[in-house]
Structure 1
Amino acid sequence: MLKRFLKPIKLPASVDWAVLILRVGVSCLMLTHGYAKLNNFLGGDRAFADPIGIGEELSFILTICAEFGCSILIILGLGTRAALIPLIITMVVVATIVHAKDPFDMKEHALLFFFPYITLFLTGPGRFSVDSKLYR
């Protein structure tokens, strides 16, 4: 079952190129957010929101793992669908809980990441990925 979940689906070559561009592009953009958070955390600044009630530090660590660690996995195309799940959840939390009372333009940033993540989850990583090499 896990192999079926991780295995990329066969796509036309032009779609594989589009998925590669989307996968690397959106992950590089998210990586900048995760890297900044990682630097803050390693620098001793542990203050962070606790939107789901699990503690500031744990929320911070999970967000760093999603935004930094999972972005690297997605760039490589390694465990892509599994790596997208924490990012999708993070963007849903940001849009619906962290910015719940804010105007739409504050939610928009999270949603602009959410939709490509959903698209990549549905398409898979494409032919140009480590997953494709592992699960031929």
Structure 2
Amino acid sequence: MRAIIKKSLNSGVTNTNISIALLVLRVVGGAFMLTHGLGKFEAFFSGEPIQFRDPIGVGASASLALAVFAEVLCAILLIIGLSTRLAAIPLAITMLVAAFIVHANDGFGRQELPLLYAAIYISIALIGAGKYSLDNWILKK
């Protein structure tokens, strides 16, 4: 019985499947975050006075700039798989700040989504981009 369970757990797990799963995580995690970042990007360059929370005490403008950097630039890098591990770090930090500082008093319902994003970005930072990425294409040359 143990052999049957072990075989069924390991069947179908290949490097290709892992790379496809990483591609899906990168593209979905990056594209979904990009939808959050584009509104902030427009607000940053609108010329209007910046009204943004300052959760880490660096000022509203700097906080918005950091959020735009992570949610737009790093999300794009994640999608294309370029500097993937490094790009995932600011995204994870941004989501952890959102969960534990911005939404600290809002309860788990408001913390759940940023924590889910953070888990995705931490996993990508640990595992890497996978075979279907610019990182892999550049390293092969």
Q: Same fold (TM over 0.5)?
A: yes
Corresponding residue of 2:88 = 84
Q: 1:111 aligns with which of 109, 112, 115?
A: 115
Corresponding residue of 2:23 = 20
Paired with 1:22 and 1:39, the residues of 2 have a C-alpha distance of: 26
Pick which of 27-36 and 117-126 moved more.
117-126
Paired with 1:44 and 1:123, the residues of 2 have a C-alpha distance of: 40
Paired with 1:103 and 1:97, the residues of 2 have a C-alpha distance of: 11
**AA of the residue aligned to 1:27:** G
Query: Which structure 2 segments of 5+ residues have no match?
Result: 1-13
Q: 2:46 aligns with which of 39, 43, 46?
A: 43
Q: Deviations over 1:97-135 (max 9, x none)?
A: 111111110111211211111111121000111100112
Aligned pairs for 1:51-70 within 5 A: 51-70=55-74
Q: Which has the higher contact order (CA 8 A, sep 6+)?
A: 1
Query: Normalised by the size of structure 2, how large is the TM-score?
Result: 0.86
Paired with 1:17 and 1:28, the residues of 2 have a C-alpha distance of: 16
Corresponding residue of 2:97 = 93
Corresponding residue of 2:130 = 126
- Contact 2:89–2:122 (CA under 8 A) maintained in structure 1: no
**AA of the residue aligned to 1:59:** S
Indicate the SS of the match to 1:69.
helix
Indicate the SS of the match to 2:132.
coil
Corresponding residue of 2:8 = none
Deviation at 1:44, TM superposition (A): 2.7
Taking every aligned residue pair, what percent have the same amino acid on both sides?
44
